[in-house]
Amino acid sequence: MAIRSIARGCGAYLPERIVTNAELAAKVDTTDEWIQARTGIKQRHIAADGQLTSDLAVHAANRAMEMAGVEGKDIDLIVLATATPDHTFPSTATTVQAAIGMSGGAAFDVQAVCSGFIFALATADNFIKAGQCKRALVIGAETFSRILDWEDRTTCVLFGDGAGAIVLEASEGEGPDAQGILSTHLHSDGRFKEMLYVDGGPSSTQTVGHLRMQGREVFKHAVTNLSNVVLEALEANGLEADAIDWLVPHQANQRIISGAARKLKMDTAKVVTTVSSHANTSAASVPLALNVAVQDGRIKFGDLLLLEAMGGGFTWGASLLRW
């Protein structure tokens, strides 16, 4: 029997402060109507002054470990996806490691922007399948509010802060009916860097910089790339779209989510959407959405989930996971 990574628990955390579209409209030239019609976003959570990405991540990790019935000492790998780390170094993952009382094993960050959680999940899954760890904490955590240009209405209305986490554990299983991660599929194409990037960084400007984006171009690539990677994941497992119980997509824009669901001919009732209340939380968006649907009872033991995301780089990926 092959080693398989099964999900033992999940958790999430959103900062207390909610910023509505109306609040943003008082600061930049935008309206609640424009934001809702173009994106589906109604509000976003914004981290308090001094509240760091690692703080959000630790809350989410603790909740995921509680659901899994494990403690920090039981974890032997942390893979944390973020594009907004606390510091240039050390990794945010090692800060979380210390905070949850995990002293052994390894902890590191991965950087694939909005696809970060799928990249982190794939990394942890492969470590588990290679026998290099037994129980991994996979976290997506972001404070995108810190890299937004709050005077640029084309980007500042789109993003929010938050964190989500999942505990994976080595088990045994084979085939699409067994619990756990069936497969992960990752892609990147560095030729499109200029369409979505941050105009700062330690090596280039010695500043943090701000997010810059050609929204319409990103939108087109997102719909195509996501459709392709979702089909790739289904094909790799010999499954049809109707086998999916829940689509848990990256929450960038309601129109991108609906486009992906339409291509799969999926009933919108089977699509988990949180973009209206969380906005785009980058690497945190998939585990935040997953956690909402697990906590409210929609996702049940044995359900087949399709996770997908696309982000700067470009990077994109998908995973089929039997909960």
Least CB distance to ligand ACO at residue 50 (A): 26
Q: Tokens 């390894």 belong to which residue?
A: 106
Nearer to ligand ACO, 169 or 308 (CB): 308
What is 193-247 written as a DSSP string?
GGGEEES-BTTTTSB---EEE-HHHHHHHHHHHHHHHHHHHHHHTT--GGG-SEE
Selected catalytic residue, list 21, 45, 62, 114: 114
Cα separation, 60 vs 162, whole angstroms:
9
Is 237 among the residues known to form the active site? no
| Contact of 46 with 101, CB cutoff 8 Å | no
Which of the residues 225 through 284 are near ligand ACO (CB under 6 A)?
A: 250, 252-253, 280
Burial of 57 (0-12, 13-18, 19+ CB in 10 A): buried
Run of H or E including 99: helix 92-99
Is 253 among the residues known to form the active site? no
Q: Which stretch binds ligand ACO (CB under 6 A): 1-9, 72-80, 217-225, 263-271?
A: 217-225
Selected catalytic residue, list 250, 253, 278, 291: 250
139 binds ligand ACO (CB under 6 A): no
216 binds ligand ACO (CB under 6 A): yes
Cα separation, 253 vs 84, whole angstroms:
20
Least CB distance to ligand ACO at residue 229 (A): 12
Nearer to ligand ACO, 83 or 293 (CB): 83
Q: Which of 21, 39, 84, 291 binds ligand ACO (CB under 6 A)?
A: 39
Q: In this chain, which residue has its C-beta nearest to ligand ACO? A: 215
Burial 291-321 (b: 16+ CB within 10 A, else e): bbbbeeeebeeebbbbbbbbbbbbbbbbbbb
Is 87 among the residues known to form the active site? no
Cα separation, 162 vs 143, whole angstroms:
7
Cα separation, 242 vs 264, whole angstroms:
8
Q: Which stretch binds ligand ACO (CB under 6 A): 32-40, 197-205, 232-240, 297-305?
A: 32-40
215 binds ligand ACO (CB under 6 A): yes
Nearer to ligand ACO, 5 or 39 (CB): 39
Q: Tokens 């973009």 belong to which residue?
A: 275
Which of the residues 3 through 22 are near ligand ACO (CB under 6 A)?
A: none
| Contact of 77 with 133, CB cutoff 8 Å | yes
Neighbours of 71 (CB within 10 A): 13
Q: Which stretch binds ligand ACO (CB under 6 A): 65-73, 130-138, 153-161, 169-177?
A: 153-161
Active site residues: 114, 250, 280
Binding site residues, ligand ACO, CB under 6 A? 30, 34-35, 38-39, 114, 153-154, 157-158, 196, 213, 215-216, 218-219, 222, 250, 252-253, 280, 310-311
